[in-house]
């Protein structure tokens, strides 16, 4: 029923719908909310195409995380295979870790520097 009402409204005033979409872009933002057990939610509100594009890029990188370059020299091949086998994180954990690494500029496993100003 809600979808039908939106379709009818869009058919009656398509320009108003387009203007709402243009204004919505101005409300893009990043926010942080605490979660249980020392965790937190980092949310990005942005245009659908950009947010989905970012998620697809992360997902594609995750899909390649256990792929080892067959052209690696033999002495690097064993280390690359061992590293791929050692990463036992699930997809969700890997995506979260990689997104935070990219956003913070940290390398994998590098601790997050914290400054406390009193």
Residues 40 and 55 both lie in one domain = no
Domain that holds residue 62: 47-112
31 phi/psi in degrees, rounded to 5: -140, 160
Residues 30 and 74 both lie in one domain = no
Q: What is the pLDDT of residues 11-41, one digit of tens each?
A: 877 788 788 888 889 999 999 999 999 999 9
Q: Please give, one letter per residue, the 3-state secondary structure of the chain.
A: CHHHHHHHHHHHCHHHHHHHHHHHHHHCEEEEEECCCCCEEEEEECCHHHHHHHHHHHHHHHHCCCCCCCCCCHHHHHHHHHHHHHCCCCHHHHHHHHHHHHHHCCCCCCCCCCCCCC
Tokens of 115: 């400054």
In a domain, 118, yes or no: no
Q: What is the pLDDT of residues 90-105, one digit of tens each?
A: 999 999 999 999 998 8
Residues 64 and 92 both lie in one domain = yes
Residues 68 and 106 both lie in one domain = yes
Residues 39 and 96 both lie in one domain = no
Residues 31 and 52 both lie in one domain = no
Cut 0.75: pTM above it: no
Residues 90 and 106 both lie in one domain = yes
In a domain, 67, yes or no: yes
């Amino acid at each position: 029923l809600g979808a039908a009402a939106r379709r009818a409204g869009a058919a009656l005033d398509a320009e108003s719908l387009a203007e709402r979409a243009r204004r919505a872009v101005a409300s893009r933002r990043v926010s942080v909310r605490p979660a249980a057990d020392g965790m937190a939610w980092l949310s990005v509100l942005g245009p659908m195409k950009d947010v989905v594009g970012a998620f697809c890029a992360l997902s594609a990188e995750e899909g390649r995380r256990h792929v080892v370059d067959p052209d690696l020299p033999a002495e690097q091949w064993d280390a690359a295979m061992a590293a791929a086998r050692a990463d036992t994180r699930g997809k969700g954990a890997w995506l979260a870790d990689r997104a935070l690494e990219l956003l913070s500029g940290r390398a994998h496993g590098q601790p997050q520097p914290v400054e406390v100003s009193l």
